[in-house]
Chain A
């Protein structure tokens, strides 16, 4: 693949296709060849050829191929959600978001690896092996959308989509040095997304820069009659152009330091440097309070597993996927199929969720978590009365070594400390790369009120220009 082609952002490549300066078939083949030669295990499936007879000259996305997280159902294409229980499953229909991207002019490049059913923060929980971080192959890319993040960072895909339930877009974007957006809950249809926790799951873009994220997200949003929780997006996602942050009020939560074990010093350093850059661009920065944010993790690890335990009841060896001991009685077939097909983390969360919902514990666990969720939303509402955006590091750490946290579920869950409050409140957030700590990327997170995507992306763009992060080392 030519160096010049690889240097183009997705938006720039699409613009060249629309102007007739770049052959979309050449662009597709260049990335297809890179994706097929993937040695990071970022892809679980790669397309053989581009869809034929497409004219991208008038399309929004300009024929720039997109990598799609495995859990998006895609007609006729393996869609296994990183799970052995769905091995070989080829759905008879496509997710609404996948259809919208195709109609918007982004052909499917391939499906990307993920933690099984999106449960994880490292992509080590995939039933198809871990994905490696292109910045350092001994390290994880984050998760659960780790395949999408690694593919974009390594230049194996121009752009990608993933899903975020408690940080699964933003955290891998941070650990791989790219941009990730979790939209407002309801902005993108969940139809055809293999469900993890339905009141939290949202699809969003993982891209090389902020402009690419805005463009891809524009094609994804909109109300869908197949998802009754989807909402009409007010207006459109604007492409960013802002050069300063004059008049923008940023709140830095005082609760930032209340994480067990603290934030990695290099991460904190880059975060503070970026906050100073924002001030230099004209933003006002003050401390804010999110008193219940330190409890968000606990609420999340009750609510998400509770919803997951119900959602994953459908994998029972009857309608699709694996079946074990089909000649036994029904109960035995169910329980052996599920014991064989699910991995350790998925079993752990099903158990946790089933326990939290079980008779005698429901009020004490699940009921309490739902009340904490209310308080977290109220905290954000109060913060947004004074501030335009709340800013934090995206992850307390940079990419960690493979296997470093697999035996300690609680340590792994702490990854999500800064990313779980937003989905609990349903609000949007973006992670942008803000620098390196010991040679590894650090993510900077901005969160705004519901449907503030265009403003949030615009502010992130101004910061991105000031930061000048160089993602090229991961693309070699």
Chain B
């Protein structure tokens, strides 16, 4: 079971400002889903290697040759706060940074 404090902790890690109602709902819904998922912990998986990825690519190297990239002004077109210097504007981390 996930309690309210755990939900708030995970929400903070995930950078999600959940409403009180959402916190309540997440606690109940995620607990139900996790109860179902728990069953895989009953399997005997001793000595089984993990599979993070099905394609067996260890290092995908290519020749270190520069190729054209998108112009800066094109990339900045989608930014909510492009700066005059040509960067992405962000608010100050401020006191509440975490």
Contact = CB atoms under 8 A, between A and B. Distances in A.
A465 B37 CA distance: 40
Given A350-B14, A371-B48, A425-B54, A330 B40 contact: no
Given A295-B40, A329-B96, A367-B50, A352 B33 contact: yes
Interface of A is mostly: helix
A372 B29 CA distance: 24
Interface in A59-107: 89-93
A224 to B, nearest CB: 11
B70 to A, nearest CB: 5
A347 B22 contact: yes
Given A228-B57, A318-B88, A330-B92, A355 B10 contact: yes
Interface in B7-63: 7, 9-19, 22, 26, 29-30, 32-34, 36-37, 39-41, 43, 45, 48-55, 57, 60, 62
A331 B15 contact: yes
B79 interface: yes
Nearest to A198: B53
Interface stretch (A45-53, A168-176, A206-214, A333-341): A333-341
A375 B45 contact: yes
Contacts, number: 172
A225 interface: yes
A377 interface: yes
B16 A339 contact: yes
Contacts of A365: 37
Contact of A92 (B19, B22, B45, B70): B70
B69 to A, nearest CB: 10
Contacts of A364: 41
Interface of A: 89-93, 185-186, 199, 225, 228-229, 231, 292, 295, 298-299, 301-302, 309, 313, 316-323, 326-336, 338-339, 342, 347-348, 350-352, 354-355, 358, 364-365, 367-375, 377, 409-410, 413, 425-426
The 10 closest A-B pairs by CB, nearest first: A329-B94, A426-B54, A228-B60, A370-B50, A323-B80, A320-B78, A335-B17, A339-B17, A371-B45, A371-B48
Interface of B: 2, 6-7, 9-19, 22, 26, 29-30, 32-34, 36-37, 39-41, 43, 45, 48-55, 57, 60, 62, 70, 74-75, 77-81, 88, 90-98
16 contacts: A199-B52, A228-B60, A229-B53, A298-B36, A326-B91, A329-B92, A332-B91, A334-B15, A347-B18, A351-B30, A352-B30, A371-B50, A371-B51, A375-B43, A409-B33, A425-B54
